[in-house]
Amino acid sequence: MSKIEQRLREMGMLLPEPPKPVASYVPFTISGKLVTISGQIPAGPKGPVYVGKLGDTISLEDGKAAAQLCALNLIAQLKAACNGDLDRARRCLRLGVFVNATPDFTQHPEIANGASDFIVQLMGEAGKHARAAVGAPSLPRGVAVEVEGLFEIE
């Protein structure tokens, strides 16, 4: 079991199966030591959760939880990119966080912290990353948050 999966277990969480794409794209690409992971939505075994808009039907706390679930799905895709061995993951370089929000919502960074803080909890110093947090008028399947990532592997 990898260090990341051990940390998840300590947090009382399990790594899900990586979600399958629902359109014409691949879940990740690898170039040299870089893995780019396609945007992940807050989906569980029964499909999308946290459906709605920040500043309207989704609370700040639920928005952070949605971002964390997106990050968990990112890690599941990272494991697939590493052929099942998350110990190959060296660091998180960047996260892109998209927040389905009303025009007057301004707390995008706080929502993005749900994903960022989670990645740092899992990876320690290697989890500290550059980031963009942006608002969007809508997201796939109506979810509140979508997160993409760039990781370095060995």
* Predicted pLDDT at 149: 98
**What does the mean pLDDT of the chain come to?**
96
Place 146 in a pLDDT band, splitting at 50, 70 and 90.
Answer: very high
**CATH code of the domain covering residue 80:** 3.30.1330.40
Beta strands at 47-48 and 43-44: parallel, antiparallel or unpaired:
antiparallel
* Predicted pLDDT at 20: 84
Interhelix angle 108-123/60-81, nearest 10 degrees: 40
Those residues whose C-beta lies under 8 Å from the C-beta of residue 24, and which sit 6 or more positions away, are none
Place 82 in a pLDDT band, splitting at 50, 70 and 90.
Answer: very high
* Predicted pLDDT at 19: 83
Q: What is the pLDDT of residues 94-106, one digit of tens each?
A: 999 999 999 999 9
The number of distinct structural domains making up the chain is: 1
Interval 125-151 mean pLDDT: 97
Those residues whose C-beta lies under 8 Å from the C-beta of residue 49, and which sit 6 or more positions away, are 42, 43, 66, 69, 143
Question: Which domain does 144 fall in, by range?
Answer: 3-153
Q: What is the pLDDT of residues 48-77, one digit of tens each?
A: 999 999 999 999 999 999 999 999 999 999
Q: What is the pLDDT of residues 1-55, one digit of tens each?
A: 899 999 999 999 999 999 888 889 999 999 999 999 999 999 999 999 999 999 9
Q: What is the pLDDT of residues 86-131, one digit of tens each?
A: 999 999 999 999 999 999 999 999 999 999 999 999 999 999 999 9
d(CA 39, CA 13): 21
d(CA 61, CA 91): 27
